[in-house]
């Protein structure tokens, strides 16, 4: 059984590589954050990465959710990209979100203005990354 953060080789494309311990902790943080996304709300891969203290690692959030055994029991369907697009090849994601009352725009993207989950700084992350999180949360998501 693969443990969270065990496959460090999947991080080759990151200039600021993590140690195995950092990768393990990042994976745990990602799963913890995803478990807290409320019904009817969504957040982004980048938002989760920032909350976990590694704002440039949004792709690793997706890998964590895809390759961690048991992650399928979390509300992973509530994670979308920064434009509100659902995961390619996962048609059921939209259905699951619509069942929770999430609205989609005409272009097929989640209405991020209405449904973006923005926890308070320090809601699910350590104090030392509060500044990064604050910057990310103050991003204007309107198009």
Say if 4 falls within a structural domain.
Answer: no
pLDDT band at 129 (very low <50, low <70, confident <90, very high): very low
Say if 5 falls within a structural domain.
Answer: no
pLDDT in tens, 100-116: 999 999 999 999 999 99
If one counts the domains in the chain, the total is 1
Say if 10 falls within a structural domain.
Answer: no
Q: How far apart (Å, rounded) are the C-alpha atoms in residues 127 and 117?
A: 20
Answer for the pair 85, 97: CB distance below 8 angstroms, yes or no: no
pLDDT (average), residues 19-26: 92
Residue 24 sits in a domain whose CATH number is 1.10.10.10
Say if 11 falls within a structural domain.
Answer: no
Cβ of 25: how many Cβ atoms within 10 Å? 18
Say if 2 falls within a structural domain.
Answer: no
Q: How far apart (Å, rounded) are the C-alpha atoms in residues 7 and 72?
A: 18
Domain that holds residue 85: 17-137
pLDDT in tens, 29-79: 999 999 999 999 999 999 999 999 999 999 999 999 999 998 889 999 999
- Give percent of the chain with pLDDT exceeding 90: 64
| pLDDT given at position 123 | 52
Q: Tell me, letter by letter, the H, E, C secondary structure of 42-82.
A: EEEHHHHHHHCCCCCCHHHHHHHHHHCCCHHHCCHHHEECC
pLDDT band at 16 (very low <50, low <70, confident <90, very high): low
Q: Which tokens hold the place of 1?
A: 């059984």
Say if 1 falls within a structural domain.
Answer: no
């Amino acid at each position: 059984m693969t443990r969270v953060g065990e496959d460090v080789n999947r991080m080759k494309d990151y200039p600021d590589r993590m140690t195995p311990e950092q990768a393990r902790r990042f994976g745990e943080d990602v799963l913890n954050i995803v478990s807290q996304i409320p019904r009817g709300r969504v957040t982004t891969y980048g938002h989760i990465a920032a909350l976990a203290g590694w704002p440039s690692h949004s792709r690793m959030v997706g890998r964590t959710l895809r390759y961690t055994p048991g992650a399928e029991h979390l509300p992973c369907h509530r994670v979308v990209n920064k434009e509100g697009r659902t995961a390619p090849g996962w048609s059921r994601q939209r259905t699951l979100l619509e069942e929770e009352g999430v609205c989609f725009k005409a272009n097929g993207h989640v209405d991020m203005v209405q449904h973006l989950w923005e926890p308070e700084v320090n809601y699910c992350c350590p104090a030392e990354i509060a500044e990064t999180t604050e910057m990310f949360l103050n991003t204007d998501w309107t198009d």
